[in-house]
C-alpha cells in the first residue's frame, strides 16, 4: 500500500540521520508533492505512526519525531534513493529566498491583514508574464492565475465545465499519481494513450479526438512524469493542430520546462496562445516544494469559473509566498538559479543514461533520463515491479513502483520510476549496477 511506502521512507530518513528525535517532519502537503500521492495517503501514514507512538502532532504546527525513540530497529544505513523526486536540496537557494521573504514581509505587511485577489497579486502576475516569455509563453497578466502548486490548477480544471461542452478526458499513460487521483476520486471518464520511449501514437490520438467527446488532453510536454519523454516541436505542433480540428482543449503541464536546454524547444502554447492550450507551471521542482506555488494561463472563457473555484478551495494563495516569489523573479535571482540547475541535472542525466546502457539487461526497456529527474525501467511483462522494489530495498536501493501511475483500465505492474535529482553523482552508477543485477536475478529465477 502507498501509505506503507511513506512510513518506510520516514523510517529510512531516521535510520540514515536525515530525521532526528524531536525534529519536525515534512508537512503533509510537501510530502504529498514529493511522492505524487494524495494528501489523505500522507495523513494515513502519519496517523499510523502516531498510533504507534513514534511521532506526535502539535495543532497548527505539524508532526514531530518522538523524543529519543528510534523508528528504525536497524542501525543507520546508507541508501541510494531513486524514489524521491524532489529538487536537489544542495542546489536550493535557501539564503537568497530568505532575503526575499524578509523583504516581502516589509512590502506586503498591510496586505497580510486582509484577503487578496483569488487570481493572485497583480504585481506577481505581471512578473510571471515577463518570466514566462523566457519559455516562449506570451500572455498578458490578466490571463494568469497564481495557484498553490500546479496540482491545484489541474484539480480545479478537471472539475470545471469547458466551452466545448464535452466531458471525457484524454491522458498520457502513465502519468503522475496526483492527476490520477484527481480523475479517479471524481469518477470521471478518462481515455489513456500510451507514452513510450518514442512518444505517443499520433494517429491513435487523432482517432480518440475524432470519435470521443474529449474535453481536454492532459500532457506533460517536457520531461514527462514518469517516462522523462519530451515532445519534439513537430509533435507539439501536430497535437495542437489535431486539438483545433476536433475542438479539444489541451492542458499543457510544463512544470519542468525551465530545465530544457534545447534553445529552440517551444511549448505547445506557442502554437495556439488564443486559449485552446491551457498552460500550467509549478515552481516546486526548481525552487522549494514547500512554497506550493504555481501558475496557470487560462482562456477568457474559463477565468470567471476558475476564479470562483479557486476562491472556494482556499480563498487565495498566501500573500507572503506570492510576494517573495515576485521579488525573487524581479531581482534576476531566478534566472541565475535556473542556469545552475540546468547544468546539474543535465550532468546527472548523462551519467544515468550511460549507466543504463552499461548495466541494464537486454530484457528491459528504459525511457528518459535527459533531465536527471524522471525515467522508467519496464520489466518483461510477466514480472512485477513490486518484487524488484522489495529486492532492491534489501540492497539499500530505493525505487518507485509505477503501478499507481496508471488509470485502472490501463494498469501495468512491471514498471518502476527513477529519479536521480537527489542522488549524488558518484552513487548513480553504483545504484544502476545494483538494479541491473537484481533484475538479472529475477529473470534467471523466473519470478513473476
Q: What is the DSSP string of 184-234?
A: HHTT--EEEEE-BTTB--HHHHHHHHHHS-EEEEEE--SS-TTT-----HH
The answer to whether 153 and 280 are in contact (CB under 8 A) is yes
Residue finishing a domain among 333, 366, 394 = 333
The answer to the question of residue 310 being in a domain is yes
pTM score, whole prediction: 0.80
Consecutive H or E run containing 321: helix 319-330
Looking at the fold, whether 25 and 104 belong to one and the same domain comes out as no
Same domain, 38 and 165: no
Query: Tens of pLDDT along the chain (448 residues)?
Result: 788 888 888 888 887 778 887 788 888 888 888 888 888 899 888 888 887 778 877 777 788 887 654 444 444 458 899 998 777 777 777 788 888 888 888 887 766 656 678 899 999 999 999 999 999 999 999 999 999 888 899 999 999 999 999 999 999 999 999 999 999 999 998 999 999 999 999 999 999 999 999 999 999 999 999 999 999 999 999 999 999 999 999 999 998 888 888 888 999 999 999 999 999 998 877 777 667 899 999 999 999 999 999 999 887 788 888 888 999 899 888 888 888 888 888 899 999 999 999 999 999 999 987 777 899 999 998 899 999 999 999 999 999 999 999 999 999 999 999 999 889 999 999 999 999 999 999 888 766 5
Burial 272-304 (b: 16+ CB within 10 A, else e): ebebbbbbbbbbbbbbbbbbbbbbbbbbeebbe
Instruction: For residue 149, give the nearest of 226, 34, 260 by alpha carbon.
Output: 34
- Is 394 among the domain residues? no
Q: Is the C-alpha dihedral spanning 13, 16, 405, 206 positive or negative?
A: positive
Q: Using omega within 30 degrees of 0 as the cis cutoff, is the peptide bond preceding 4 cis?
A: no
Residue 144 domain flag:
yes
Q: Tell whether 66 and 99 lie within a shared domain.
A: no
* Closest of 201, 202, 212 to residue 246, by C-alpha: 212
Which domain CATH number covers 287? 3.40.640.10
- CATH assignment at residue 17: 1.10.10.10
- 361 by Cβ neighbours in 10 Å (0-12 / 13-18 / 19+) ranks as middle
Q: Could you list the residue range(s) of the whole structural domain that residue 240 is in?
A: 94-333
Total number of domains constituting the chain: 2
CA nearest to 222, candidates 178, 275, 286 = 286
Residue 404 in any domain: the answer is no
Task: Give yes or no: residues 109 and 191 share one domain.
Answer: yes
Does the residue 269 lie in any domain?
Answer: yes
Provide the pLDDT for residue 114: 67
Closest CA to 295 of 309, 308, 284, 280: 280
85 occurs within a structural domain: no
C-alpha torsion sign, points 368, 171, 399, 346: positive
Amino acid at each position: 500500500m502507498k501509505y506503507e511506502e511513506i512510513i518506510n521512507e520516514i523510517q529510512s530518513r531516521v535510520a540514515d540521520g536525515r530525521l532526528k528525535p524531536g525534529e519536525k517532519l515534512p508537512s503533509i502537503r510537501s510530502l504529498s508533492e514529493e511522492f505524487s500521492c494524495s494528501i489523505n495517503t500522507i495523513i494515513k501514514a502519519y496517523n499510523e505512526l502516531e498510533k504507534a507512538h513514534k511521532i506526535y502532532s502539535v495543532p497548527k504546527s505539524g508532526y514531530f519525531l518522538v523524543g529519543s525513540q528510534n523508528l528504525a530497529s536497524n542501525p543507520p544505513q546508507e541508501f541510494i534513493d531513486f524514489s524521491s523526486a524532489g529538487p536537489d536540496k544542495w542546489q536550493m537557494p535557501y539564503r537568497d529566498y530568505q532575503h526575499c521573504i524578509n523583504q516581502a514581509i516589509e512590502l506586503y505587511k498591510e496586505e497580510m491583514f486582509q484577503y487578496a485577489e483569488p487570481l493572485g497579486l497583480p504585481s506577481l502576475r505581471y512578473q510571471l508574464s515577463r518570466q514566462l516569455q523566457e519559455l516562449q509563453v506570451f500572455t498578458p497578466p490578466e490571463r494568469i492565475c497564481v495557484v498553490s502548486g500546479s496540482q491545484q490548477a489541474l484539480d480545479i480544471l478537471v472539475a470545471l465545465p469547458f466551452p466545448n461542452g464535452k466531458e471525457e478526458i484524454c491522458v498520457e499513460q502513465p502519468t503522475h499519481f496526483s492527476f490520477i487521483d484527481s480523475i479517479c476520486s471524481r469518477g470521471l471518464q478518462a481515455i489513456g494513450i500510451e507514452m513510450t520511449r518514442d512518444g505517443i501514437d499520433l494517429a491513435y490520438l487523432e482517432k480518440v479526438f475524432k470519435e470521443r467527446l474529449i474535453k481536454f488532453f492532459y500532457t506533460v510536454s517536457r520531461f514527462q512524469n514518469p517516462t522523462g519523454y519530451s515532445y519534439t516541436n513537430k509533435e507539439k505542433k501536430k497535437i495542437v493542430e489535431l486539438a483545433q480540428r476536433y475542438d479539444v482543449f489541451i492542458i499543457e503541464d510544463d512544470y519542468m520546462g525551465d530545465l530544457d536546454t534545447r534553445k529552440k524547444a517551444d511549448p505547445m502554447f506557442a502554437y495556439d496562445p488564443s486559449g485552446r492550450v491551457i498552460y500550467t507551471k509549478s515552481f516546486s521542482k526548481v525552487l522549494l516544494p514547500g512554497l506550493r506555488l504555481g501558475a496557470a494561463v487560462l482562456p477568457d472563457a474559463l477565468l470567471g469559473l476558475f476564479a470562483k473555484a479557486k476562491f472556494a478551495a482556499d480563498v487565495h494563495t498566501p500573500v507572503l509566498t506570492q510576494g517573495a516569489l515576485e521579488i525573487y523573479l524581479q531581482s534576476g535571482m531566478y534566472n541565475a538559479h535556473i542556469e545552475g540547475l540546468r547544468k546539474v541535472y543535465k550532468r546527472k542525466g548523462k551519467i544515468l543514461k550511460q549507466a543504463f546502457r552499461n548495466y541494464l539487461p537486454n530484457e528491459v526497456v528504459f525511457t528518459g533520463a535527459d533531465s536527471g529527474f524522471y525515467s522508467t525501467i519496464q520489466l518483461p511483462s510477466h514480472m512485477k515491479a513490486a518484487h524488484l522494489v522489495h529486492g532492491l530495498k534489501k540492497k539499500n536501493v530505493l525505487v518507485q513502483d509505477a503501478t499507481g501511475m496508471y488509470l485502472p483500465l490501463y494498469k501495468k505492474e512491471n514498471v518502476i520510476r527513477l529519479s536521480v535529482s537527489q542522488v549524488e553523482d558518484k552513487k548513480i552508477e553504483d545504484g544502476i549496477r545494483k538494479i541491473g543485477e537484481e533484475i538479472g536475478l529475477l529473470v534467471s529465477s523466473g519470478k513473476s
